[in-house]
Structure 1
Amino acid sequence: MKKLFTLCVMLFFSVTLFVAQEKDPVIQAMISEANDNSQLKNLGHELMDVIGPRLVGTPQMKNAHDWAVAKFNTWGITAKNEQWGEWRGWERGITHIDMIHPRVQSLRGMQLAWSPGTGKNGITAELLVLPMIKDSLEFARWLPSVKGKLVMISMHQPTGRPDYNWEEYATEKSFTKMKEEREKQTEEWQENMRRTGYDRRTLAPALEKAGAAGIVMSNWSRGFGVNKIFGARTKAIPTVDLELEDYGMLYRLVESGHKPKLKIVAESKELGMMPTFNTIAEIRGTEKPEEYVILSAHFDSWDGATGATDNGTGTLVMMEAARILKKHYPNPKRTILVGLWGSEEQGLNGSRAFVEDHPEIVDGLQALFNQDNGTGRVVRLSGGGFLNSYDYLGRWLDAVPNEITSEIETTFPGTPARGGSDYASFQAAGAPGFSLSSLSWAYWNYTWHTNRDTYDKIVFDDVRNNVILTAILAYMASEDPEKTSRVKAVLPVSNRTGRQLEWPTPRSPERKGGVD
């Protein structure tokens, strides 16, 4: 009987909610628009395939900002590019990396971001690997030998198969043996690196100063064919990343005494300091225009690929949600803004600048919804440390179809973020910003900052669900008769330090980046 009673109660509330949703024509129109007239695939193609990667300081980043403004305008939404700083300008050019000795083979790899170029003629040089040394003095004696050489600075991986592949096919004994050998090798490599007196940030500049012709590395992301691509730390010589398979082959050739040589042609260009922007779109409120709902996503990406899931998909969600809101909720009670932030990848710089430059908007913020981490459907929502966040987020979520909310695990009141993505910039200022955190889809291994973060990795059904969720949350937040509470919860004790956590404080952005 108790189970039957519980089932009846659940059924009653489900039916009540369904009827409530059915009675709201705006919600129903937005859901139909998202499902029947989705623009996501076209937007994704234009942003990822046509414009491409969006590294801060590049012409492609500026092209993306201009494209977004034009797209918003076609939907009748006012938009602008708002400059908040400047960054070292750089443009990727044609890159060829070829082994020319002991045989000829074109290799799979690319320049790191902001790597110095080689010119059209390129450079040709023999490869060296870092030696095993006893101490920093021995390393200092070895350093002159790098003059005119390409130096390999990454560990040679013992296997190119990810662990899940080993776990599926290897014997337990073989899998255990591989992991133990890899762990030992990794520890030895790291200890040897410490003995040099340098780390991953300072080693490349030291090799450059000693006369190296270039730096060769491989930042494997523990998946088939996938490497993470970040920025170079050299000022005059090129830094390239090779895929694991080619890097391993070259490393073995060096160790066996075959003295492999590479020819590297990398035609990147330095462009001087370039302006950096946030794209801000606005649907003006009619009753409370000085209160705001913000749809938030970072617009920039690393440029190992085209930034599809970091954060092309978050950008698509916010743009498509804004399009739908403008079409079916053109006169919101509160002002709805879309913030497409620049230079998130270098430290949340665009959103931190916006918070610093627009205290009036931060003061009037009803809620900010941010989506960043991949292509999956939203599965987590935290109250961000705001004591009464359940009251209003719970009300708003009740209007979202159950097929979407049933996938979402909520945590209230939660804790504020100290980084990670742009909602943290607003939380640090005490404003109610919330992360719409998504399902992984092997994000950390395969697409986060990698050479495989491309259009084909987008799961459009999940992204469309996120559009519906975001549009309804924005609508409900705008219509809510009450202003959201900013009362902060008492934060828990840190497991790491044993001390009570403190609310984060706002940090200023880096407004002149990419230079010392």
Structure 2
Amino acid sequence: MDQQHQAGRRRAITGLLTMLGGVSLSPLLKAADAIPAAGPARLSEAEMQTAAWIREHALSDNRSYEILESLTTEVGARLAGSEADLRAVAWAEAKMRALGLDKVWKEPVQYPVWQRLSELASVISPYPHRLQVTALGHSVSTPEGGVQADIVRVASLQDLKNTDPAKVHGKIVFIDHKLKKSADYGEVAAGRSRGASEAARKGALALVIRSVGTDSHRLPHTGVMHYDDDAPRIAAAAISNPDADLLVRMLDRGEPVRLDLRIQTAMGGHFTSYNVIGELRGSEQPDDYVLIGGHLDSWDLGTGAVDDGAGCAITLGAAEFLRRHQLRPRRSIRVVLYANEEQGLIGGRAYHTAHRHEISRIQAASEADSGQGPVKMLRSDVRPAALAVVGQIQQVLTGLGVNAGGNQAHPGPDMGVLREAGAASFSLDMQADDYFDLHHTADDTFDKIDPARLRQSCAAFAVFAWMAAQSPVDFGSGDALIQSRKTRTAG
């Protein structure tokens, strides 16, 4: 039996019997404790009808598309540490106020600045070609005059690790790991993240990777990379998928392929940006909140429409819809637009540092950072007593074509550290079959957005956020949920 309901039953019986006078309460209270509960607490029928109303009306009446148009037109590309980064912060703060959120504020986030200056890659021999190339985030520059060397092709990061250093020394490593489906992103992106240090340990002069993307466009995909402290630092870049195919065809002819790679970047100084936060205050428990949001920064090649302007617009649109229709739930709904996700989840970590004392106040956390949608599946990570309410959320979302997942969820990149600290989490999994066609490229622009897809995602987040914030039971954030996860994993 839920402890809150048991305590309420005991208080009611105590009050009644006290009025009767002279009656021993102890046996009766023990008997009351032994009576089975009617079932786990659930949202009422009236609340379910309200949630269904939100689903139907938010699908056609949310402003997510207009919000995203505003961001991509008025700000555009938002590379962390750039002047546009601060313009995006100002845009977000002003937009939250214009949308009528009850409370709007920003919290500082500091990080070093990385700048892209110039990039050039060409095949010198056997068949001269200019390649489409982009430096990876945090890459150092090539030496003045660039690097000219033969390439050695490896199939993956693991293949590079297994390669004899003698085959790599003095050459440019080419990691030819093709992303075939979105589910493999983490495995393929490992070459982008860690390939430079692994190649440098074996004596390579530079690293070139096949773009981590599912497209066949002649547009390279950037993304952040990391250097290990125990390895030399060499330049790292990505070439487009068609250009990677070109290198493979040349290599298949059995002749050495020689590249000229020239990358110029700059790193230095610390920059202060901000997590921008807006809140729709709850009617009964305003200090407890459902946390939604996306990341405000983008890479500099496109205008960050799908990654992650869409997530910002979806979650802001959900909060605005609820405010406009005066659908104020018991708990607050907090929207966080995170700083500098792209270069290391820095805004997410800063939010955790600033709010680690209030993990138990987070009713549920879910980030939108998988493009425009639509939402296709709901997964949860809550205490067992809350699963009945999760089932009700699923029941309403089924009307949007959202399928049921299990009680194993990750809330998204910036919120992962909150999950590790015990925050109850949800994943509103989005259709991502075309996401990695655009991800981190110059093609990530507003014209790729389908209003119907974006609005379905916004409607799903509006339903989820309102129902989670209105729930008659808490979802269990804290140490108990961490222990519950361990039990589930062990089982």
TM-score under structure 2 length normalisation: 0.70
**Which residue number corresponds to residue 278 of structure 1?**
275
Contact 1:250 1:260 in 2 (8 A): no
In structure 2, C-alpha distance between the alignment counterparts of 1:421 and 1:90, rounded to whole Å = 21
| Secondary structure of the corresponding residue to residue 383 of structure 1 | strand
In structure 2, C-alpha distance between the alignment counterparts of 1:123 and 1:162, rounded to whole Å = 35
In structure 2, C-alpha distance between the alignment counterparts of 1:154 and 1:137, rounded to whole Å = 12
Query: What are the equivalent positions in structure 2 for 1:96-115 lying under 5 Å apart?
Result: 96-98=120-122, 105-115=129-139
Identify if the C-alpha distance between structure 1 residues 204 and 263 changes in structure 2 by more than 3 Å, giving closer, same or farther: closer
| Secondary structure of the corresponding residue to residue 437 of structure 1 | strand
Q: Which residue identity is paired with 1:455? A: F
Q: Which residue identity is paired with 1:421? A: P
Identify if the C-alpha distance between structure 1 residues 399 and 142 changes in structure 2 by more than 3 Å, giving closer, same or farther: closer
Q: 2:98 aligns with which of 55, 74, 77?
A: 74
Identify if the C-alpha distance between structure 1 residues 118 and 79 changes in structure 2 by more than 3 Å, giving closer, same or farther: farther
**Which residue number corresponds to residue 310 of structure 1?**
307
In structure 1, C-alpha distance between the alignment counterparts of 2:72 and 2:344, rounded to whole Å = 23
Counterpart check, 1:455 vs 2:475: no
Contact 1:124 1:261 in 2 (8 A): no
Contact 1:348 1:425 in 2 (8 A): no
Q: Which residue identity is paired with 1:403? A: G
In structure 2, C-alpha distance between the alignment counterparts of 1:200 and 1:96, rounded to whole Å = 20
| Structure 1 runs (4+) greater than 6 angstroms displaced | 100-104, 135-138, 160-163
**Which residue number corresponds to residue 425 of structure 1?**
417
Q: 2:467 aligns with which of 451, 471, 476?
A: 476
Contact 1:102 1:261 in 2 (8 A): no
Identify if the C-alpha distance between structure 1 residues 340 and 243 changes in structure 2 by more than 3 Å, giving closer, same or farther: same
In structure 2, C-alpha distance between the alignment counterparts of 1:430 and 1:468, rounded to whole Å = 27
Structure 2 residue runs of 5 or longer lacking an equivalent are: 1-42, 155-160, 182-190
Q: Which residue identity is paired with 1:362? A: I
In structure 1, C-alpha distance between the alignment counterparts of 2:47 and 2:327, rounded to whole Å = 19
In structure 2, C-alpha distance between the alignment counterparts of 1:344 and 1:220, rounded to whole Å = 18
**Which residue number corresponds to residue 490 of structure 2?**
500
Q: Which residue identity is paired with 1:35? A: S
**Which residue number corresponds to residue 323 of structure 1?**
320
Q: 1:439 aligns with which of 423, 431, 434?
A: 431
**Which residue number corresponds to residue 409 of structure 1?**
403
Q: Which residue identity is paired with 1:128? A: D
Q: Deviations over 1:416-444 (max 9, x none)?
A: 54x8534433333333221111223243x
**Which residue number corresponds to residue 200 of structure 1?**
195
- Residue identity over aligned pairs, in percent, reads 24
Report the alpha carbon displacement of residue 248 of structure 1 after superposing the two structures with TM: 4.5
Q: 1:296 aligns with which of 293, 297, 308?
A: 293
**Which residue number corresponds to residue 260 of structure 2?**
262
Contact 2:78 2:298 in 1 (8 A): yes
Counterpart check, 1:129 vs 2:145: no
Q: Which residue identity is paired with 2:174? A: S
Contact 1:292 1:361 in 2 (8 A): no
Contact 2:153 2:175 in 1 (8 A): no
Q: Which residue identity is paired with 2:403? A: E
In structure 1, C-alpha distance between the alignment counterparts of 2:105 and 2:418, rounded to whole Å = 21
Q: Deviations over 1:146-171 (max 9, x none)?
A: 3xxxx4312568xx9979xxxxxxxx
**Which residue number corresponds to residue 116 of structure 1?**
140
**Which residue number corresponds to residue 213 of structure 2?**
221
Identify if the C-alpha distance between structure 1 residues 385 and 223 changes in structure 2 by more than 3 Å, giving closer, same or farther: same
In structure 1, C-alpha distance between the alignment counterparts of 2:475 and 2:484, rounded to whole Å = 18
**Which residue number corresponds to residue 38 of structure 2?**
none
TM-score under structure 1 length normalisation: 0.67
Identify if the C-alpha distance between structure 1 residues 155 and 138 changes in structure 2 by more than 3 Å, giving closer, same or farther: closer
Counterpart check, 1:243 vs 2:240: yes
Q: Deviations over 1:323-346 (max 9, x none)?
A: 222222275543221112234456
Query: What are the equivalent positions in structure 2 for 1:361-400 lying under 5 Å apart?
Result: 361-398=358-395
Moved more, 227-236 or 241-250: 227-236
Q: 1:338 aligns with which of 335, 338, 342?
A: 335
In structure 2, C-alpha distance between the alignment counterparts of 1:136 and 1:75, rounded to whole Å = 55
Q: 1:464 aligns with which of 446, 449, 455?
A: 455
Contact 1:296 1:422 in 2 (8 A): no
| Secondary structure of the corresponding residue to residue 71 of structure 2 | helix
In structure 2, C-alpha distance between the alignment counterparts of 1:309 and 1:340, rounded to whole Å = 15
| Secondary structure of the corresponding residue to residue 123 of structure 1 | coil
Q: How many residues align?
A: 422
